[in-house]
Chain A
Amino acid sequence: MNGPEHTPDPPETISRRQFIGWGAAAVAGIAIAPGVTLFDLAHGRPAGQAASNKTRWGMLIDTNQCSAGCNDCVTACSTENHLSGGRKETDSQWIRKIELKDLRNGKTHSLPMMCQHCEHPPCVDVCPTGASFKRADGIVLVDRHICIGCRYCMMACPYKARSFVHEDVTGQNPDVPRGKGCVESCTLCVHRIDRDQKPACVEACAAAGHNAIIFGDLNDPRSEISKRIATYATTQVRADLALNTAVRYQGI
């Protein structure tokens, strides 16, 4: 490639998306009064507006930051979603810590594993009633009003992310209804996202000083998660299945 046929890099062009982004930023800059703008691009949607496919929520988990002994994300999940936090086979588990060890050199990794919020979720493919579904913004959920508890989705999930509720539940978080006879899994704390908050595990990880989980919009090139994915090598677990997961890992 050192010959005269070597072509120079193409000149930088402004993509359509970028141009529209600048336009929107300019519109948002129109101020009614100092500090009061017509539009607020940085924040989420109002409570009465439906989730949109312009957004795709995702997580990047940096396994180099994740501490082996730390279980804070799991505890925070149990507290937020009123899970027992127990380890019996009949206890629901939305997020769990996993230790990986390279047998050749002994290098260990610790990482949380949960619903990967696939773009092409197998659980949705197999659900016979339509209870398992993907919301417009990419969050994979179970509609408990429709779920008949057949557990086919649990078998289809390559990440073992789903649990069946075996026993009566009382004292639920009013934002997170749960009950016997349904399958459930990580909702990405959808009730918090709708309030423009971060999932409980992300907050707990940051509070513990690890900052191993970054949450954000994969469709927004200006979000921290998009910048990190564009800069560093990140992995989707079982990428061979081409499910295009929204949860990605760095350092494994």
Chain B
Amino acid sequence: MMNAECGMRKAERRAQGAGRGARVASCSSFIIHHSSFVLLVLTLGAPALAAESTRVPKPVIEAGQGKKCVENTEFMRRNHMELLKHQRDETMHKGIRTRNHSLNGCIECHASRKNNSVVGSDQNFCQSCHSYVAAKLDCFECHSSKPKPQAQKQADMAQRPAGQGAK
């Protein structure tokens, strides 16, 4: 962490210095600058920045089955884990089963059109970004990574009394 912070400060100085025409040429500082740049990319949302850079490979995310997310994309990139964790406790302990921020709700829209899953290939929605930033994804050790079969969904809705539809 020390190195990273130091690197970031150096990067700032470099940016200021570059304005005045200064050049940093040593090999070691290049490595520090390089790592700080990667860190910045990771911190600020990989896909957004990666799209602007040609040097960094981009995660390839294939289109899911849904049309529009329940929140805007920028908010979701930074906060989806908080929403999921909050909803998880609400569902587990209080039995609140609204769909908007539930993992099942996410999977229903984001499951791939090819393999009907959010994990399994590096192009699948969850795995594409998580493998790109090397953040461990262990939801699917217990949770199903595929949406409910259509027949099961219809059976659930048919048995649910009027006015009980999940939001």
Contact = CB atoms under 8 A, between A and B. Distances in A.
Interface in B78-105: 88, 90, 92-99, 104
A50 B94 contact: yes
B148 A48 contact: no
Interface stretch (A88-96, A139-147, A156-164, A224-232): A139-147
Contacts of A175: 104, 148
Contacts of B107: 174
Interface in B135-150: 141-144, 146-148
B97 A194 contact: yes
Interface in B103-157: 104, 107, 141-144, 146-148, 156
Contact of B164 (A46, A135, A141): A46
A43 interface: yes
A169 B142 CA distance: 7
A197 B88 CA distance: 21
A191 B143 CA distance: 14
A145 B93 CA distance: 11
B162 to A, nearest CB: 9
Interface residues of A, number: 36
B161 interface: yes
B166 interface: yes
Contact of A47 (B142, B143, B166): B166
Contacts of B167: 47-48
Q: Is the interface of A mostly helix, strand, loop or mixed?
A: loop
Q: Is the interface of B mostly helix, strand, loop or mixed?
A: loop
A179 interface: yes
B8 to A, nearest CB: 34
A172 B144 contact: yes
Contact of A141 (B92, B144, B159, B163): B92
Given A47-B97, A47-B166, A174-B104, A179 B92 contact: no
Interface of A: 40, 43-44, 46-51, 133, 135-137, 141, 143-145, 168-169, 171-175, 177-180, 182, 190-191, 193-197
Given A144-B142, A182-B142, A196-B164, 15 more contacts: A43-B161, A47-B96, A47-B164, A47-B165, A47-B167, A49-B96, A50-B96, A135-B93, A136-B94, A171-B144, A172-B142, A174-B104, A195-B97, A196-B159, A197-B160
Interface of B: 88, 90, 92-99, 104, 107, 141-144, 146-148, 156, 159-161, 163-167
Sorted nearest first, the 10 A-B pairs with minimum C-beta distance are: A179-B142, A50-B94, A47-B166, A51-B95, A177-B142, A174-B144, A177-B143, A172-B144, A179-B141, A47-B97
